[in-house]
Amino acid sequence: MIRLIIAEDNEVVRQSLGRMLGAEPGIVMVASATTGTEVLKILRSGITADIVLADMNMPEMDGIELTAYLKTEYPAVKVIILTMHSKQVFLERARNAGALGYVLKHAEMNELIGAVRLVADGGSYFL
């Protein structure tokens, strides 16, 4: 089972993603958060996760910062950045921070689910 945490400040997106991904076989939603800081709190509370699906733009601590933190504090936790920005520069920034996936929000859901499974299996997904 892939243990997944969703970090997304937009409530609609957070709930819809949680419902959609939680319904996927082999994927279990362990928690959801609205900021990067909240993700760190969750992990520090003892909840373990395989993958954090993080929105790039969040208040307090955005997805890229969170990736950098997790890289040092929880290297086993893999990060996929979910964003509306298709610019290559953002992708590079995410990759440099240690993210293993970069999925655009307008991509089909199959692509997102595929990317989650690929990263969970040790791969990486950058478009």
Partner 1 sequence: MRKEPEDMVRKAADWYNFLFNAIDQGFCIIELVYDSNGLAVDYRFLEVNVIFEQQTGLKDVIGKTGSELTPGTEQYWIKDFERVVRTGEPVRVENYHGSTGRWYVAHAARIGDENSRQVAILFDDITEQKSDAIRMAGTETSMRERENWLKGQQQAFKTAISGGHLAESLEPLVVTIAVQTKGDARSAFYLIPPDGKGLHLVAGMDEAYAEAISGFEVGSESLACGLAMHTGEPVITPDVEREPRWKPFLEIARKHQYRACWSFPVRTNDGPVLGTLAMYFKTPREPLEREMEMAEVLAHSAAIIISHNTELRERRRAEAALREAELQYRVQLESEVAERTAELKNSKELLQATLDSNPEMIQVFRAVRDRQGKITDFVWILNNASSEHAYGDVIGKSLLENNPGVLAAGIFDNLVQVTETGIPRQYEMRYVNEQFDGWFYQSVVKLDDGVATNTINITERKKAEERLMQVEAGKKREIFLVSLSTLEEERYRISESLHNGIGQILYGIKINFSTLRQQIPVQEFNEIKAYINTLLTDAIMETRRVSHELMPATLEEFGLKSAIDDICDQLSDNTRFTCHVRGLDTRMEKYLELAVYRTVQELMTNVVRHASATIATIDIIHKQAEIRITVTDNGMGMEAGKKHKPGIGLASIRSKIKLLDGEIRIDSEKSRGTTVSITIPIHQ
Binding site for partner 1 (CB under 8 A): 10, 12-13, 15-17, 19-20, 23, 57, 84, 105-106, 108-110
CA distances from 38 to 18, 28, 73 (A): 16, 19, 14
Please state at what angle helix 63-73 crosses helix 88-97, rounded to 10 degrees. Answer: 20
Looking at the Cβ atoms of 79 and 112, the one nearer to partner 1 is 112
The whole-angstrom separation of Cα 54 and Cα 8 is 6
CB of 7 to partner 1, least distance (A): 14
Between 39 and 82, whose beta carbon lies closer to partner 1?
82
Secondary structure of residue 76 in the 3-state scheme: coil
Compute the least distance from the CB of residue 59 to partner 1, in Å.
Answer: 11
**Which phi and psi angles does 63 have, rounded to 5°?**
-60, -40
Task: Closer to partner 1 by CB, 17 or 31: give it.
Answer: 17
Judged by CB, which is closer to partner 1: 72, or 110? 110
Question: 35: which 2 tokens?
Answer: 């900021």
Report in angstroms how near the CB of residue 110 gets to partner 1 at its nearest.
Answer: 8
